[in-house]
Structure 1
Amino acid sequence: MGLMLALFLSSLDQTIVATALSSIAGDLGGWSLLPWIVSAYLIASTVTTPIYGRLSDLYGRRPVLLVSVSIFVAGSALAALAPNMPALIAARVVQGLGGGGLRAISLAVVGDILPPRERAKVQGYLSATFATANIIGPLLGGLFVEYLSWTWIFWINLPLGAAAFATTYFQLRRLPKPGKRPRIDWAGAALILLSCTPLLLGITLVQRAGSWLAPEALVCFALGLAFLVLLILQERAVPQPMLPLQLFRNPVFTMAILVTGLTSMVMMALVILVPLDYQLVSGLTPKEAGLRMIAMTLGSVTGSFLAGQAVAATGRYRPFAILGAAMATAMCLVISFIGLGHSLLLDTVVTLLLGLSFGCQFSPMTVTIQNAVDPRDGGIAISCMMFFRLMGGAFGVAVLSSVLLWHLPGGVAEGVPPLVAAPAFSVVFLVAGAIAALSLAAALLLKEIPLRGRT
Structure 2
Amino acid sequence: MPDTESPAAPPSYSLFSHQEVRTIVMGLMLALFLSSLDQTIVATALSSIAGDLGGFELMPWVVSAYLISSTVTTPIYGRLSDLYGRRPVLLVSVTIFVAGAVLSALAPTMLALIAARVVQGLGGGGLRAISLAVVGDILPPRERGRVQGYLSATFATANITGPLLGGLFVEYLSWHWIFWVNLPLGAAAFATTYVQLRRLPLPGKRPRIDWLGALLILLSCTPLLLGITFVQRANSWMAPEALGCFGLGLVFLVALIAQERAVSQPMLPLQLFRSPVFTVGIIVTALSSMVMMALVILVPLDYQMSAGLSAKDAGLRMIAMTLGSVTGSFLAGQAVSRTGRYRPFAVLGAAVATTMCLVIAFIGLGHSLLLDTGVTLLLGLSFGCQFSPMTVTIQNAVDARDGGIAVSCMMFFRLMGGAFGVALLSSLLISHLPPGAMAGGAPPEVLRAAFATVFLGAAGIAGLCLVAALCLKEIPLRGRA
Distance in 2 between residues matched to 1:94 and 1:412, nearest whole Å = 38
Distance in 1 between residues matched to 2:216 and 2:157, nearest whole Å = 35
Partner of 1:128: 153
Partner of 1:407: 432
Flag structure 1 segments of 5+ consecutive residues without an equivalent: none
Are 1:75 and 1:91, in contact at CA under 8 Å, matched by a contact in 2?
yes
CA change 1:405–1:398 in 2 (3 A) is same
CA change 1:412–1:119 in 2 (3 A) is farther
Partner of 1:328: 353
Match of 1:426 among 427, 441, 452: 452
Q: Residue by residue, what CA displacement relative to the aligned partner does 1:94-131 show, whole Å, maximum 9, x if unpaired? A: 11111111111000000110000100011121123223
Matched residue SS, 1:241 = coil
Partner of 1:289: 314
Are 2:152 and 2:387, in contact at CA under 8 Å, matched by a contact in 1?
no
Partner of 2:164: 139
Q: Residue by residue, what CA displacement relative to the aligned partner does 1:128-181 show, whole Å, maximum 9, x if unpaired? A: 322332343222111111111111111111111111101111011111110010
- After TM superposition, list the pairs within 5 Å mapping 1:145-160 onto structure 2: 145-160=170-185
Are 2:217 and 2:253, in contact at CA under 8 Å, matched by a contact in 1?
yes
How far is the alpha carbon of 1:406 from its aligned partner? 0.2
Are 1:263 and 1:436, in contact at CA under 8 Å, matched by a contact in 2?
yes
Matched, 1:304 2:333: no
Matched, 1:197 2:219: no
Matched, 1:175 2:194: no
Matched, 1:218 2:215: no
Partner of 1:100: 125
Partner of 1:454: 480
Partner of 1:249: 274
Residue identity opposite 2:385 in structure 1: C
Match of 1:318 among 322, 334, 343: 343
Partner of 2:399: 374
Residue identity opposite 1:186 in structure 2: W
Match of 1:11 among 11, 16, 36: 36
How far is the alpha carbon of 1:187 from its aligned partner? 0.3
Partner of 2:58: 33
How far is the alpha carbon of 1:32 from its aligned partner? 1.1
Distance in 2 between residues matched to 1:412 and 1:266, nearest whole Å = 23
Distance in 2 between residues matched to 1:121 and 1:60, nearest whole Å = 24
Matched residue SS, 1:243 = coil
Aligned length: 455
Partner of 2:11: none
Q: Residue by residue, what CA displacement relative to the aligned partner does 1:295-321 show, whole Å, maximum 9, x if unpaired? A: 111101111111111111111111110
Q: Residue by residue, what CA displacement relative to the aligned partner does 1:406-451 show, whole Å, maximum 9, x if unpaired? A: 0111155322433321111110000000000000000011001000
Residue identity opposite 1:445 in structure 2: C
Distance in 2 between residues matched to 1:45 and 1:412, nearest whole Å = 34
Matched residue SS, 1:410 = coil
Residue identity opposite 2:308 in structure 1: G
Residue identity opposite 2:468 in structure 1: A
CA RMSD of superposed structures (Å):
0.9
Distance in 2 between residues matched to 1:43 and 1:286, nearest whole Å = 27
Q: Residue by residue, what CA displacement relative to the aligned partner does 1:351-375 show, whole Å, maximum 9, x if unpaired? A: 0000000011111000000000000
Q: Which moved more, 1:330-339 or 1:133-142?
A: 133-142
Are 1:280 and 1:416, in contact at CA under 8 Å, matched by a contact in 2?
no
Partner of 2:375: 350
Are 2:226 and 2:245, in contact at CA under 8 Å, matched by a contact in 1?
yes
Are 2:291 and 2:462, in contact at CA under 8 Å, matched by a contact in 1?
yes
Flag structure 2 segments of 5+ consecutive residues without an equivalent: 1-25
Matched residue SS, 1:179 = coil
Q: Residue by residue, what CA displacement relative to the aligned partner does 1:10-52 show, whole Å, maximum 9, x if unpaired? A: 1211221111111111111211111111111111001000000
Distance in 1 between residues matched to 2:40 and 2:117, nearest whole Å = 14
Match of 1:274 among 277, 299, 305: 299
Residue identity opposite 1:310 in structure 2: A
Partner of 2:461: 435
How far is the alpha carbon of 1:4 from its aligned partner? 1.0
Matched residue SS, 2:439 = coil
Residue identity opposite 1:231 in structure 2: L
Are 2:40 and 2:63, in contact at CA under 8 Å, matched by a contact in 1?
no
Distance in 2 between residues matched to 1:372 and 1:36, nearest whole Å = 37
Q: Which moved more, 1:63-72 or 1:408-417?
A: 408-417
Distance in 1 between residues matched to 2:170 and 2:441, nearest whole Å = 30
Structure 1 residue ranges, 4+ long, deviating more than 4 angstroms after superposition: none
Are 1:131 and 1:298, in contact at CA under 8 Å, matched by a contact in 2?
no
Distance in 1 between residues matched to 2:282 and 2:247, nearest whole Å = 24
Partner of 1:388: 413
Q: Which moved more, 1:174-183 or 1:132-141?
A: 132-141
Q: Residue by residue, what CA displacement relative to the aligned partner does 1:173-206 show, whole Å, maximum 9, x if unpaired? A: 1111100100000000000000000011111101
CA change 1:84–1:338 in 2 (3 A) is same
Matched residue SS, 1:413 = helix
Distance in 2 between residues matched to 1:411 and 1:46, nearest whole Å = 33
Residue identity opposite 1:225 in structure 2: L
- Identity across the alignment (%): 84
Matched residue SS, 2:73 = helix
How far is the alpha carbon of 1:84 from its aligned partner? 1.1
Are 2:148 and 2:333, in contact at CA under 8 Å, matched by a contact in 1?
yes
Distance in 1 between residues matched to 2:193 and 2:244, nearest whole Å = 42
TM-score by length of 1: 0.99
Distance in 1 between residues matched to 2:232 and 2:436, nearest whole Å = 12
Partner of 1:166: 191
TM-score by length of 2: 0.93
